[in-house]
Amino acid sequence: METPQEKKPSYDEAFQELERIMEGLQNDDISVDELTHKVKRASELIAHCNKMLRDTEKEVGDIIEELGI
């Protein structure tokens, strides 16, 4: 469960963190000791971004439906 201090990142923040992780993996900048943590974090960020995209798609669809477009 999320504590008050742990706010979920915005989509852009999560995407930027994912880019940094991917860059580190591609450049072999991530040590073996960090690898599991970084891959797990990337997985969490991907799930978070996917949820935000699904929620946004539904919300926009609902608005469009309300407008009768």
Q: How many domains does the chain have?
A: 1
For residue 57, being part of any structural domain is answered with yes
For residue 3, being part of any structural domain is answered with no
For the chain, the distance separating the N- and C-terminal CA atoms, rounded to the nearest angstrom, is: 39
For residue 2, being part of any structural domain is answered with no
Q: pLDDT tens digit string along 32-54? A: 999 999 999 999 999 999 999 99
What average pLDDT does this structure show over 6-11?
88
Domain that holds residue 24: 11-67
What is the structure's pLDDT at 26?
A: 93
What is the structure's pLDDT at 20?
A: 96
Dist. CA 42–CA 46, nearest whole Å? 6
For residue 24, give every residue at least 6 positions away whose Cβ sits within 8 Å of its Cβ, in sequence order, or none.
Answer: 30, 38
For residue 36, being part of any structural domain is answered with yes
Percent of the chain with pLDDT over 90: 78
Buried b (16+ CB within 10 A) or exposed e, 2-18: eeeeeeebeeeebbebb
